[in-house]
Amino acid sequence: MAASASAALVFLSQESGAGAGGVVGLRAPAPVTVDSFFFSCELSGHTSSFTFKVEEEDDAEHVLALTMLYLTEGAKDECNEVEIVAQNHDHQEIAVPVANLKLSCQPILSLDDFQLQPPVTFRLKSGSGPVRITSWHQIVTVSNDAFEEEEGGEEAKEAELCPILPAKKQRGRS
């Protein structure tokens, strides 16, 4: 869950002063919400692939954090190779094997929140499964509406302030 918290961090923006380099003002970050939903799918001889997608119009950031792959009831003692098809940093589709499960020697694999950006396809490349994949679907949303209202309020407050008037001249004392 620490990885999800770091994905949702929003840092304060600071404006430096022209004089001594001090901080003139701080702007509060826009409200951020992080929702997590349990996600699971099963790959077998009947269903050898599954694609996890999100709506493209959605402005939220989606992360699929894989937690575990394991063989379920009815699995044979054979190699079950699972691969993930996703996009790399250049937006090219790549296939990467992530697990080779066998009932007699490695029936379960913990991935410790291995994070992927949807769309992601899981494939049972070899074996008949069934292999269960568990993960968390994390949705990070930044609420710009509340942030814009807050900025508008600050501008209105600044406009209401009285201008600085010059000091009154005092008559000299003798």
- pLDDT tens-digit readout, 26-49: 555 668 888 889 999 999 989 999
pLDDT in tens, the chain (174 residues): 444 333 333 333 333 344 444 445 555 566 888 888 999 999 998 999 999 998 877 778 899 999 999 999 999 999 999 999 998 888 899 999 999 999 999 999 999 888 998 999 999 999 998 999 999 999 988 876 644 555 555 555 555 666 666 777 777 665
Instruction: Dig out the tokens for 114 from the structure.
Output: 């291995």
70 vs 73: CA distance, rounded Å? 10
Task: Calculate the CA 45 to chain-centre distance.
Answer: 32
Length of the chain: 174
63 vs 145: CA distance, rounded Å? 23
58 vs 127: CA distance, rounded Å? 36
pTM over 0.75: no
Residues 6+ apart with CB under 8 A from 87: 93, 94, 117, 119
